[in-house]
């Protein structure tokens, strides 16, 4: 993210480069003003990995968040945090949607082939935990024939896989810690393998589990950038980290989150509802925004390609058929990942998450609306068209005055159904970090571990909104299609 035109920045970068050739550290070669001074970097992170990153009162907080913000302040640059989820954050980094990732990411030889890592900032490890009332599993030897769960791509998954053959158990991977803990409490898995500080924090916050093994030695966490890119950001992170460690701020951050925080105060359902409403309303607003924009675009696409499908031109029919086949024949999640992560890699142009989400939903819904329009037009008795033409009306006039008024009445119920489907499909955009209603719910239960109650509130909001919009749509249908 180097910007030309600033002489001091250029000189600093050259000094750092010269220091590298001479075997001198970046920190020693740099001038008081770092090469990153004045720059703004986009940093990707996980969504739910307390105490390293989680939301408290709607704000993203945790060890990683405090660390990257303090280092940025120390080194004179600014950061924009994107809470994406671990897998999505790594994909965003590889597609240059973000400049770096800090997400409790273990430094491994495999990852070093793809990313450049900072100096380690935390030495982690792995522990196993079971449900509080489980008295049968007390160690690895009791796992024979059982299923355990670990976070996908984590150190816990790596360790569990390394011993599964020895102790004869099966490992399944899930996306976040809160979901894993619920899986164990529900009895779908007998134990969870997770990073020990994350597990300890969750247990202290009444997540319903207990640890049954000692901490296993693990890897260290590091800040990552794409291999060969943003060396000045990596150097600034290392310099800032060293300074925070020297002045005691680093230890203060760790103590804030790891020194046995007080257990979360239990509140009733309505207390949870009151605390959650601000974040959920924000998510609901983004859900409705994405739905509204997507439906408008999809309606235009559906009408245009719907007419193409019934056109006398084979070329137009072919174009419409290809469009429909692609977007009805591939999963919505794959499309979302392609537009947000794949397209920037192919074009070199970044795309914001709202644009990627709307693009995904509108193109997908447009394919279904195309078939709704085609079916509506073709369901009108062909004799109606022939009658219009026999009266001397042209093709366009016949369609506009004779066929379409009848077709619209047939199509309206299907349009309403597609509108509802698109609104619900916005929940899938949580996987790319779009902060809609489901995403906000995930953030809430990741911090309080009250998954069932939180999801009940989220489901109730979807139910209320969808039913209100359905009632409104039905009233409009009756009014305009009498």
Residue 44 in domain: yes
pLDDT at 332: 94
Q: Are residues 145 and 214 in the same domain?
A: yes
pLDDT band for 13, please (50, 70, 90 cuts).
very low
Q: Are residues 57 and 22 in the same domain?
A: yes
pLDDT band for 55, please (50, 70, 90 cuts).
confident
pLDDT at 265: 53
Residue 116 bridge partners (DSSP): 225
Tens digit of pLDDT for each residue in 376-407? 888 887 776 667 767 767 766 777 677 777 88
pLDDT at 264: 54
Helix (H) or strand (E) holding 270: helix 269-309
Tens digit of pLDDT for each residue in 455-476? 999 999 999 999 998 888 888 7
| Most confident among 30-39, 150-159, 283-292, 371-380 (mean pLDDT) | 283-292
Residue 1 in domain: no
CATH for 364: 1.10.3720.10
pLDDT at 453: 87
Whether the per-residue pLDDT at 85 is higher than 90: the answer is no
d(CA 106, CA 298): 42
Q: Are residues 390 and 376 in the same domain?
A: yes
Q: Are residues 215 and 234 in the same domain?
A: no
Q: With 0-12 CB in 10 A as exposed, 13-18 as middle and 19+ as buried, what is 319?
A: middle
**Mean pLDDT, range 442-462, rounded to an integer:** 86
Q: Are residues 140 and 232 in the same domain?
A: no
d(CA 370, CA 411): 11
Return the SS3 of 330. Answer: coil
Whether the per-residue pLDDT at 29 is higher than 70: the answer is no
Whether the per-residue pLDDT at 24 is higher than 60: the answer is no
pLDDT at 421: 93
pLDDT at 409: 82
Q: Are residues 249 and 116 in the same domain?
A: yes
Q: How many domains, in total, are found in the chain?
A: 3
CA gyration radius, the chain: 27
Q: Are residues 93 and 204 in the same domain?
A: no
CATH for 32: 3.40.190.10
d(CA 402, CA 358): 34
**pLDDT over 90 percentage in the chain:** 50
Return the minimum-mean-pLDDT range out of 122-131, 258-267, 292-301, 417-426: 258-267
Q: Are residues 215 and 226 in the same domain?
A: no
**Mean pLDDT, range 34-57, rounded to an integer:** 84
Residue 81 in domain: yes
Whether the per-residue pLDDT at 33 is higher than 70: the answer is no
DSSP string, 451-463: HHHHHHHHHHHHH
Residue 264 in domain: no
Whether the per-residue pLDDT at 32 is higher than 50: the answer is no
Structural domain harbouring 30: 7-121+222-258
Q: Are residues 198 and 63 in the same domain?
A: no
pLDDT band for 145, please (50, 70, 90 cuts).
very high
pLDDT at 14: 36
Residue 84 in domain: yes
Residue 273 in domain: yes
Q: Are residues 173 and 198 in the same domain?
A: yes
Tens digit of pLDDT for each residue in 276-325? 888 899 999 999 999 999 999 999 999 999 989 988 899 999 999 999 99
Q: Are residues 128 and 109 in the same domain?
A: no
**Mean pLDDT, range 151-179, rounded to an integer:** 90
d(CA 68, CA 416): 46
pLDDT at 482: 62
Q: Are residues 208 and 140 in the same domain?
A: yes
């Amino acid at each position: 993210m180097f910007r030309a035109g600033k002489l001091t920045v250029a000189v600093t970068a050259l000094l750092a480069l010269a220091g590298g050739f001479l075997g001198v550290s970046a920190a020693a070669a740099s001038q008081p003003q770092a090469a990153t001074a004045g720059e703004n970097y986009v940093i990707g992170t996980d969504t739910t990995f307390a105490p390293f990153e989680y939301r408290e009162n709607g704000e993203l907080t945790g060890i990683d968040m405090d660390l990257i913000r303090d280092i940025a302040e120390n080194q004179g640059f600014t950061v924009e945090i994107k809470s994406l989820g671990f897998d999505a954050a790594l994909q965003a980094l590889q597609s240059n949607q973000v400049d770096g990732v800090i997400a409790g990411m273990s430094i491994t030889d495999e990852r070093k082939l793809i990313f450049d890592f900072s100096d380690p900032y935390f030495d982690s490890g792995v522990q196993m935990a079971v449900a509080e009332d489980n008295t049968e599993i007390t160690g690895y030897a009791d796992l024979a024939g059982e299923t355990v769960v670990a976070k996908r791509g984590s150190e816990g998954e790596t360790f569990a896989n390394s011993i599964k053959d020895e102790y004869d158990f099966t490992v399944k991977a899930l996306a976040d810690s809160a979901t894993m803990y619920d899986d164990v409490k529900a009895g779908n898995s007998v134990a969870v393998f997770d990073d020990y500080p994350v597990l300890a924090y969750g247990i202290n916050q009444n997540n319903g589990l207990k640890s049954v093994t000692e901490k296993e030695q693990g890897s260290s966490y590091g800040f990552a950038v794409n291999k060969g890119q943003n060396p000045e950001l990596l150097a600034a992170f290392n310099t800032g980290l060293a300074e925070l460690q020297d002045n005691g701020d680093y230890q203060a951050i760790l103590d804030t989150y790891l020194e046995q925080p007080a257990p979360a105060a239990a509140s009733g359902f309505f207390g949870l509802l009151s605390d959650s409403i601000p974040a959920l309303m924000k998510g609901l607003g983004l859900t409705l925004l994405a739905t509204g924009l997507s439906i408008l675009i999809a309606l235009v696409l559906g009408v245009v390609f719907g007419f193409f499908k019934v056109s006398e031109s084979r070329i137009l029919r072919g174009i419409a058929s290809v469009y429909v086949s692609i977007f009805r024949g591939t999963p919505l999640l794959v499309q979302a990942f392609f537009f947000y992560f794949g397209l920037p890699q192919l074009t070199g142009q970044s795309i914001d998450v709202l644009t990627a989400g709307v693009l995904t939903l509108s193109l997908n819904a447009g394919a279904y609306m195309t078939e709704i329009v085609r079916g509506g037009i073709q369901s009108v008795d062909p004799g109606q068209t022939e009658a219009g033409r026999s009266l001397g009306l042209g093709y366009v006039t016949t369609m506009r005055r004779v066929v379409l008024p009848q077709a619209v009445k047939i199509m309206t119920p299907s349009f309403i159904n597609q509108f509802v489907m698109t609104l619900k499909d916005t929940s899938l955009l949580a996987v790319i970090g779009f902060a809609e209603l489901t995403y906000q719910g995930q953030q809430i239960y990741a911090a309080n571990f009250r998954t069932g109650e939180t999801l009940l509130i989220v489901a109730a909001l979807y139910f209320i909104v969808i039913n209100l919009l359905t009632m409104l749509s039905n009233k409009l249908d009756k009014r305009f299609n009498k």
